[in-house]
Amino acid sequence: MFRTTILPVIATLGLVGQIGLASAQTLPPDIEKSKVVRIAIEAAYPPLEMRNTAGELEGFDIDLSRAMGKVLGVTIEHQDGAFEQMTPSLQSGRVNVIMSGFYDTPKRRAIFDFIDYLKAGAQFYSLADNKEVTKLEDLCGKTVSSVRGTSYPDVIKAFSEKTCVGKEPITVILDTNLGQQITNLKTGRAVAGVQGLEAVPTIVQTEPGTFMILGEPISTALMGMAFNKDAESVVLREAFAAALRKVIADGTYDELIKKWKLDISTYKDVTINAGPQP
């Protein structure tokens, strides 16, 4: 079980330097013994993680994490739960990694370290036949939906303060997941929703003619795999970074990007803690 004590940033950076590339695929003792890595997901965020008609997990994150697990010689165990429960699950050691539409933000880096692997950002979408909103400025004074536990409410607030000068601000309601958000759009409780630019195209394609993308993305971000900051977690993070570089080098990453239609989100730099403020 990983310790949840957060080490000072300086100590963590020093340890990273000592690990070095030569030992990048060394695993923490408990994982070396069990050969299992537990990853927190919320299987309601297509095309990253979802369940098919047979109830099986699928998506870009599912495939990518399993490919990295194969490189490391470990079994990936996905633990499906609510988005807002992922942070306490990682902090408590119930899981080893978060990999589920989780943005690398300065605020989150106070708690976790990140491996960045996709470009991301906040994107509005609405019902295709909604005449109330045809451009982003039309959202001023309206109610929009965001998902609880994400960075989107802060992004929407910043967008509203910038866009709605002299007008009523945007009101945000917090939904539990994508399904609830879609219900609120269809019932008129919200005129628009916000999801990641990596997810909105899939939402629109899933129900042709029902939804439309509204304007350009309102923020820029990087998707990250999140790890605790204790010494053992840093070892695991470096192992995952090495595995990600391997699946990028052998073409697996590109194959999965193509499979899940995520070309706009491609990010091969494998940076650590480099996500901007969305």
Q: Judge if 77 and 173 occupy the same domain.
A: no
**Position 240: which residue type?**
F
Secondary structure class of 71 (helix, strand, coil) = helix
Q: Are 148 and 84 in contact (CB under 8 A)?
A: yes
Is residue 99 in a domain?
yes
Q: Which pLDDT score is estimated for 107? A: 93
Q: Judge if 44 and 154 occupy the same domain.
A: no
**Over residues 242-251, mean pLDDT:** 98
Q: Judge if 100 and 233 occupy the same domain.
A: yes
Share of the chain above pLDDT 90, in %: 86
Query: HSE-up of 11 (CA within 13 Å, CB side)?
Result: 8
**Over residues 56-79, mean pLDDT:** 98
Q: Is the pLDDT of residue 180 over 50?
A: yes
Q: Judge if 208 and 229 occupy the same domain.
A: no
- CATH number for the domain spanning 13: value is 3.40.190.10
Q: Which pLDDT score is estimated for 12? A: 42
Which tokens in the block code for residue 257? 């990007």
Q: Which pLDDT score is estimated for 18? A: 37
| pLDDT confidence tier of residue 277, bands split at 50, 70 and 90 | confident
Q: Is the pLDDT of residue 248 over 50?
A: yes
Q: Judge if 22 and 77 occupy the same domain.
A: yes
Is residue 3 in a domain?
no
Q: Are 204 and 212 in contact (CB under 8 A)?
A: yes
Q: Tell me, what DSSP letter sits at residue 109? A: G
From start to end of 163-263, where are the E strands? 171-175, 192-196, 211-214, 221-227
Q: Are 201 and 132 in contact (CB under 8 A)?
A: no
Q: Are 118 and 244 in contact (CB under 8 A)?
A: no
Q: Which pLDDT score is estimated for 3? A: 37
Q: What is the domain extent for residue 200?
A: 122-214
Q: Judge if 109 and 153 occupy the same domain.
A: no
| pLDDT confidence tier of residue 8, bands split at 50, 70 and 90 | very low
pLDDT digits (tens, 9 = 90+) for 113-171: 999 999 999 999 999 999 999 999 999 999 999 999 888 999 999 999 999 999 999 99
**Over residues 186-193, mean pLDDT:** 97
Distance, in Å, from the CA atom of 127 to the CA atom of 28, rounded to the nearest integer, reads: 48
Which of 214, 246, 273 marks a domain boundary? Answer: 214
Q: Judge if 72 and 111 occupy the same domain.
A: yes
Q: Are 133 and 214 in contact (CB under 8 A)?
A: yes
Residue count (the chain): 278
Q: Judge if 175 and 56 occupy the same domain.
A: no
Average pLDDT across the chain, whole number: 91
Q: Which pLDDT score is estimated for 278? A: 80
Q: Is the pLDDT of residue 83 over 60?
A: yes
**Over residues 39-55, mean pLDDT:** 96
Total domains, the chain:
2
Distance, in Å, from the CA atom of 222 to the CA atom of 278, rounded to the nearest integer, reads: 9
